[in-house]
Amino acid sequence: MRIDEMSSPEFAARVKDNPWVIIPLGAVEAHGRHLPLGTDSIQPQWVAERLAERTGSLLAPLLPYGNHSSTRRMPGTINLRFDTLRALVLDILESLHEQGLRRFLIVSGHAGGAHMTALKEASKELLEERDATVIVLTDYSVAAEIAPSLGIGHGDGHGGALETARVMAIRPDLVGEDMVAGEFVSPGYRIYADPERCFPEGIAGDPSVADAAMGERLNMHVVESLERMMEESVDG
């Protein structure tokens, strides 16, 4: 059930059942020439909706912004500062907790290192003061578990075959035909003022090998895996 589509009395009544709350986080970020800026929002929103249906969980509205580094200055990317994102997620968790909710699944479509750290730090801060069960993950990592079995190579990553296939299965109308292979070149220990130089195409991997059938398998693997995680987290 979508929280933003419920009335206040309906929400209050549902809270009494101690349901899970699924909080999807996305991003507005460059994903090469062929994928939309909302790629990292499209994927977790679809997963969260299916997961809420299967588990009877509450579904919080999507938070469509994230923290970025190697794509921060690329056209269209909208960036939140680390502390802004951490504080925003903590405020959401605390607000829901104050109303009686105790089980939270945070699903991020964006997998950036600092971004994920902000989500984890917000969750840790909540748990330092309050009793709750919190799971924090990026659905990209879960989907990647079966990537090799689908023929997706080791060098695949941001904007590559995995993400392209998943968006093809959800919103094929938003996937362009101008697909080029790309590579992320690690800067090693050096810090650059313009980290985009390490990611010139904004893509890691070869998106041209993707198809909708591959995306359907990846998407359902994520939903089924998260459902198992929720069932196994019985301490909350």
3-state secondary structure at position 28? strand
73 falls within a domain: yes
pLDDT of 236 above 60: no
50 falls within a domain: yes
46 falls within a domain: yes
Start-end of H helices in 56-110: 82-98
pLDDT at 183: 82
234 falls within a domain: no
Domain count, the chain: 1
The answer to whether residues 71 and 77 touch, using CB atoms and an 8 Å cutoff, is yes
6 falls within a domain: no
Choose between 196 and 50: higher pLDDT.
50
What tokens were used for 217?
Answer: 């398998």
What tokens were used for 171?
Answer: 């919103």
pLDDT at 235: 54
The answer to whether residues 219 and 47 touch, using CB atoms and an 8 Å cutoff, is yes
**Interval 106-142: pLDDT, tens:** 999 999 999 999 999 999 999 999 999 999 999 999 9
Structural domain harbouring 142: 14-229
1 falls within a domain: no
Residue 65 pLDDT grade (very low, low, confident, very high; cuts 50, 70, 90): very high
SS3 content of the chain, % helix, strand, coil (to 5): 45, 10, 40
**Interval 132-163: pLDDT, tens:** 999 999 999 999 999 999 999 888 999 999 99
8 falls within a domain: no
pTM of this prediction?
A: 0.94
Q: How many other β-carbons are positioned within 10 Å of the β-carbon of residue 176? A: 12
Tell me which amino acid residue 61 is: P
**Interval 13-64: pLDDT, tens:** 999 999 999 999 999 999 999 999 999 999 999 999 999 999 999 999 999 9
CATH of the domain at 41: 3.40.50.10310
**Interval 173-193: pLDDT, tens:** 999 999 988 887 787 888 888
pLDDT at 96: 98
Which DSSP category does 100 fall into?
T
Q: Using CA atoms, how far apart are residues 6 and 14, in angstroms rounded to an integer?
A: 10
